[in-house]
Chains A and B, each alone.
Chain A
């Protein structure tokens, strides 16, 4: 039987604590050490479910989900004869050890056929040929399946969750099933049936409605084989062989750092330390690690524990969220702006907010939330209620409880009374709607908020999370839970609607500004942002806020996939200038959102959701959620060019309107123009390829060393470029304006006209301007924009 580490794995412990031990698992009343069935139970199970002994699901013949089934004519293995039941004079207890934990799909491994030994020939002199090296040819595992079984060990939730990741074409799915029966039919021979109740992502990857997990013996007494079967819903049952990976559901690392003036910190607590506790609560020491191990995580305490000098705090000695975030970046050895199963726990004296703030998960700043939490030792959690029988024990318990509570926020857990907040209409997938648990005896409830107050809470608190919280931590789609992944309060069934609501002063709209939200494969997606003053008074603000790329954040989620943040490839710093925006007046901006600083965000067929937010300084204004569709390749050529096209370099060329130094990317765009006729991506490519020719273009050339660096100028070819661009932009102006977006489209036409004018070709420039104005009128764009264009034209004619 597995035992917990004696100190729960925590490297730190209370300065005031005597060394105590964590109760061995199998001695703990909250630990379920497997399942025992009496003979009759098993018999009943056998009779109730004839599938109990279906051994004819062989993995080798299992079709991949969504893939083809067995071709006709291939003989299937016959049904094995069932054992003849023997008379059972005595009821034999059947014991099945615990099976909770994480499992992974083990795809079948096909070994190469061994060469047939031939006749031995006499050794002849001659060259020695390399001998073939025998060994398995491991197929690339295109299907990754992770199964989390949760039926025993600590606080079992009777769930089986399944996570499927298909690598090509890339897709993910997640399902959670509720256990309906759990039968031990022999020594370590256990069948667990469950019904799927929750889905996320591509449902076709986890077909069926029912799940059966089987753990059985091979040789010896222990478990040796595991499988998962999907059935129901009219599908042919599919069985997957699994391998046991861990008794825990996910790994996580905690690093505890302490500010110099935080005093004695409590990272472990003896449950008998304070007299107000459940009478049957085991007397043991819990550490930060133990608590989260029992919640299902394989906790590692980082050995990198730092004492942060007080000089690092603000001038007043208290800490703001921003200062803590900066400290986290500086002192946390594992800090990275990316999803990570790791959390930084800081013990500090006091927050700027004062003594009333006992702790905070401060990390809702920046792109990766929930990585850092803080506990404030010089706060109300040190204020013992008058008359408490054990003030020191009270303080230790409160500090320990606060630490676990704040870390729970890091796992995206809300307060017990806030679970029903919000609605499942956030960008991203909602979690199962939850009911509030205002009386829950959970780490995530406030002890002083329940009926009867803190005394009542701790008299019945068993140092655990609620069942709903455990289900979330163990089985929710991992991006909801993993630190640095989904944002705090998002995708937890309570997308803080208040946080996203408009203030009423501004409305932000994200729109394609064309008739259809459908895009062709390869076509860059251009989004227009429209910010409207919906207050009751004119406001002065920077008219470039939407365009400069510094104030706008866009989130893009491929349905069933992760939400990704768009970061503009181009940001502009400009002199601030305030423009008067009248009531009802709007500002506009446009961005190619397919491409971000690290490549393409929209690079495959499917549905996507897009939502934007703009930082107005004193408020964040959030847009509508727009759904768009990207079609599959419509030709072999489109499919073939895709791997070369969806690269960072091509993204840069498209975004920057050309980049001659990225010649390979330009070659790819030329390939698009030559082989993908009719695809709107051709227009983007043509503009990007010819745009640098509208002016003398500077290139930095290198001769192999820094000394050889030289700026060379590539002479403009304005006539050639203008001809190509007017063809791309004006031959079918509606198509070009639709795919490029009004703002970039008309800006580009203006660039062409100005280049022609600068080249002395006024006649051609005026011609482009006239055609531009006609397109503006045909597309009924803002009268003020047309007026401006006509004034520019008048000055030239």
Chain B
């Protein structure tokens, strides 16, 4: 899905959103320019520490928002082709967000 057709942004990039530890039956959504791009429910697997991976085609330079829960915890990230992995973890009542250049792995 393309988040936006605004001209001043770069070409679409595949961005992977990795929702990792701390989730238990929370609803989540990814938004761009107020448009909901994806929504899902998150529960972290204990062994791998992974809840969900969502891959979206997004325009370089766009800001995406990640919202968790009904009274959402919110974090934002800017699409950067050099850092195509966005890792989101829930620490207590805080979202931890990291933007990585290399693929995070789970075993």
Contact = CB atoms under 8 A, between A and B. Distances in A.
16 contacts: A356-B18, A356-B53, A357-B50, A358-B105, A358-B106, A359-B107, A360-B48, A361-B47, A405-B107, A415-B47, A415-B49, A488-B46, A488-B47, A499-B46, A503-B25, A619-B25
B102 A406 contact: no
B47 A360 contact: yes
Interface in A364-411: 364, 379-381, 383, 385, 402, 405-406, 409
A677 interface: no
B104 interface: yes
A96 B105 CA distance: 46
B24 A356 contact: no
Contact of A356 (B25, B44, B46, B106): B106
Contacts, number: 61
Interface string B70-107: 00000000000000000000000000000000111111
B47 A356 contact: no
Contacts of A503: 25
Interface string B39-63: 0000010111110010000000000
| Size bracket, chain A contacts | 20 to 34
Interface string B1-41: 00000000000000010100000110000000000000000
A344 B29 CA distance: 38
Q: Which of B18, B24, B103, B106 counts the most chain A CB atoms within 10 A?
A: B106
A357 B107 contact: yes
A303 interface: no
B53 A354 contact: yes
A489 B46 contact: yes
A457 interface: no
A498 interface: yes
A418 B46 CA distance: 9
A405 B49 CA distance: 14
A496 B107 contact: no
Interface of A: 353-361, 364, 379-381, 383, 385, 402, 405-406, 409, 415, 418, 421, 446, 448, 488-489, 496, 498-499, 501, 503, 619
A448 B16 CA distance: 18
A379 B105 contact: yes
A359 B47 CA distance: 10
Given A358-B105, A358-B106, A503-B25, 5 more contacts: A355-B103, A357-B50, A357-B106, A381-B107, A418-B49
Interface residues on B, range: 10 to 19
B25 to A, nearest CB: 5
Contacts of A448: 104-105
B103 A356 contact: yes
B24 to A, nearest CB: 5
A385 B105 contact: no
Contacts of B106: 356-358
Given A418-B46, A488-B47, A356 B102 contact: no
Nearest to A401: B107
Given A356-B18, A619-B25, A383 B46 contact: no
Contacts of B53: 353-354, 356
Q: Interface residues of B: mostly helix, strand, loop or mixed?
A: loop
B94 to A, nearest CB: 17
A29 to B, nearest CB: 28
Of B25, B47, B103, chain A has the most CB atoms within 10 Å of the CB of: B47
B14 to A, nearest CB: 12
Contacts of B18: 356
A402 B106 CA distance: 10
B107 A406 contact: yes
A385 B105 CA distance: 12
Contacts of A379: 105
Contacts of A356: 16, 18, 50, 53, 103-106
A353 B50 CA distance: 10
A409 B50 CA distance: 16
Top 10 A-B pairs ranked by shortest CB distance? A380-B105, A358-B107, A359-B107, A380-B103, A498-B24, A358-B105, A496-B46, A402-B107, A405-B107, A357-B106
Nearest to B16: A356
B47 A383 contact: no
B81 to A, nearest CB: 16
User: B48, B102, B107: which has the most chain A beta carbons within 10 Å?
Assistant: B107
A359 B24 CA distance: 22
A358 B102 CA distance: 14
Contacts of B16: 356
Contact of A385 (B47, B102, B104): B102
Nearest to A402: B107
A655 to B, nearest CB: 36
Contacts of B105: 356-358, 379-381, 383, 446, 448
Contacts of B102: 383, 385
A138 B49 CA distance: 54
Contact of A383 (B24, B44, B50, B103): B103
B88 to A, nearest CB: 14
A409 B48 CA distance: 10
B46 A357 contact: no
Contacts of A498: 24, 44, 46
Given A353-B53, A356-B105, A359-B107, A501 B46 contact: no
Nearest to B52: A353
B47 A409 contact: yes
Query: In this complex, which of B49, B103, B104, B105 has the most chain A Cβ atoms within 10 angstroms of its Cβ?
Result: B105
Contacts of A409: 47
A403 to B, nearest CB: 10
A446 B49 CA distance: 11
Nearest to A376: B107
Contacts of B104: 356, 380, 448
Contacts of B47: 360-361, 364, 409, 415, 488-489
A418 B30 CA distance: 28
Nearest to A499: B46
Nearest to B100: A448
Nearest to A498: B24
Contacts of B107: 357-360, 381, 402, 405-406, 446
Nearest to B44: A498
Contacts of A353: 50, 53
Contacts of A355: 103
Contacts of A402: 107
A764 B60 CA distance: 84
Nearest to B105: A380
A28 to B, nearest CB: 27
A797 B107 CA distance: 70
Nearest to A386: B102
B100 to A, nearest CB: 10
